[in-house]
């Protein structure tokens, strides 16, 4: 009985661990130690650098990850993409509504309505086939949808939101 209870507690803790991420330490965002790949600004509830939240790869990898395999308009064949769902990252920062502007290195911009985001889609992909993506292959961060899984992911709007070389998110009202 003791053992069973211990096993159940261990199971519960095990299930909860992925929810309490290593990124938020006691409600405060940890600081990046590696190269900053993503900066979130605007109406955010957690910061680690002035008014912004900065992420290095390690911090992104510490968040709950999602993977799927799909072809894309911009790559050959089917590849596995891994990343943190945009909705998950926003939730970590205490963002539950408003608009998100996603900016690329070249100042390309796409807009998202937070309330209409799916929980797992799109992902901020940081790996393709388990490997980091260099800039020339649309990395290091690329907003990717599972295009092959449904025709609702094969629309011009979704394509236009597939921001590669993503480096900034701005949270607006
Ligand atoms: N960084 C970045 N991502 C981007 C774009 C861009 O110009 N820069 N174009 C978007 C748009 S509007 C579409 S339809 C698709 C396809 O762009 P393409 O016409 O260059 O293939 O990528 C999207 N992601
Ligand atoms: Mo487009």
pTM: 0.86
Q: How far is the CA of 154 from the centre of ligand 1 (A)?
A: 14
Question: Lowest mean pLDDT: which of 5-9, 44-48, 97-101, 145-149?
Answer: 5-9
The overall average pLDDT reported for the chain is: 90
161: nearest Cα among 114, 95, 109: 109
Residue 28 pLDDT grade (very low, low, confident, very high; cuts 50, 70, 90) = confident
Q: Which of the pair, 22 or 126, is modelled with greater confidence?
A: 126
pLDDT value for 11: 54
Q: Is 162 in the pocket of ligand 1 (CB under 6 A)?
A: yes
Mean pLDDT in residue range 71-88: 98
Q: Which domains does the chain have, with CATH numbers?
A: 22-172 (3.90.420.10)
C-beta neighbour count of 113 within 10 angstroms: 10
Q: Is 159 in the pocket of ligand 1 (CB under 6 A)?
A: yes
Q: How far is the CA of 68 from the centre of ligand 1 (A)?
A: 21
170 has pLDDT over 80 = yes
Q: Which of 38, 71, 73, 169 to probe ligand 1 with, by most ligand atoms within 8 A of CB? A: 73
pLDDT value for 50: 94
Q: Is 163 in the pocket of ligand 1 (CB under 6 A)?
A: yes
105: left (phi over 0), alpha (psi -120 to 50) or beta: alpha
Mean pLDDT in residue range 145-150: 98
Tell me how far apart the alpha carbons of residues 94 and 112 are, in angstroms, rounded to a whole number.
16
10 has pLDDT over 70 = no
Tell me how far apart the alpha carbons of residues 83 and 67 are, in angstroms, rounded to a whole number.
7
Which two tokens mark 155? Answer: 């629309």
Question: Residue 105, exposed/middle/buried by CB under 10 A (0-12, 13-18, 19+)?
Answer: middle
């Amino acid at each position: 009985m003791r053992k069973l209870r211990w096993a159940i507690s261990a199971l519960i803790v095990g299930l909860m661990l992925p929810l309490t991420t290593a990124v938020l330490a006691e409600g405060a965002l940890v600081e990046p130690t590696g190269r900053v790949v993503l900066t979130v600004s605007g109406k955010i509830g957690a910061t680690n650098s002035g008014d912004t939240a900065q992420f290095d790869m390690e911090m992104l990898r510490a968040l709950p990850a999602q993977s799927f395999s799909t072809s894309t308009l911009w790559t050959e064949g089917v590849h596995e993409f891994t990343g943190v769902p945009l909705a998950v990252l926003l939730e970590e920062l205490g963002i539950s509504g408003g608009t998100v502007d996603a900016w690329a290195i070249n100042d390309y911009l796409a807009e998202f309505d937070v309330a209409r985001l799916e929980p797992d889609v799109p992902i901020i992909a940081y790996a393709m086939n388990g490997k980091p993506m260099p800039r020339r292959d649309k990395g290091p961060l690329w907003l990717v949808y599972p295009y092959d899984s449904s025709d609702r992911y094969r629309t011009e709007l979704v394509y236009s939101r597939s921001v590669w070389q993503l480096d900034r998110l701005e949270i607006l009202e």
